[in-house]
Amino acid sequence: MGALLAGSQAFAQQRKLPGAGTSPIKVGSELADVTAIDEDGNEFPLRQKLKGRHAVITFGCLT
């Protein structure tokens, strides 16, 4: 199993709002075919890297 923390500059200074609502990403949907950057600065294509094991992605910000 892999666990990942994803950070986005755009999330900086965001905070939880009451009644934040339901995530628009539905259970059962396909993992998006997007590429992030790993901590060594290398590209990290999610579908390719996470295939074959359970993975957790948790979003957050560094600040």
Partner 1 sequence: MPWLADSMTNELKHAFGDKNNSEFVISPEGKIVVSRTWSDPEQLREELAGFVGESETVTKPSKNGQQPKRTEYTRGVVPRVKRPSGASVLKIEPVIVAEGDEEETVPPVEPFYAKLRAEATRAVMDGDEGELYLGFHLDPIYEVHWNNLAAPLKFSISAPDGVELEVTEGEAAKVEEKADLDPREFLVGIKGAGDEPLRLRVDYFACDNGDKWCKAIRQEYLIHFQTDRDAGRVQGGGGSRDRSKMQRPPGGGNTKGRMPNPDVIFTRFDADKDGKITKEEATGPMERRFPMMDTDKDGVVTREELKSRFERMRGGGRSPAK
Report 18-57 residues binding partner 1 (CB under 8 A).
20-32, 34-39, 44, 47, 50-57
The CB-of-43 to partner 1 minimum distance in angstroms stands at: 9
**Displacement of CA 61 from its chain's centroid (Å):** 11
Q: How do 2-7 and 43-45 pair as beta strands?
A: unpaired
The CB-of-22 to partner 1 minimum distance in angstroms stands at: 6
Contact 2, 50 (CB under 8 A): yes
Residue numbers at the binding site for partner 1 (CB under 8 A): 1-16, 20-32, 34-39, 44, 47, 50-63
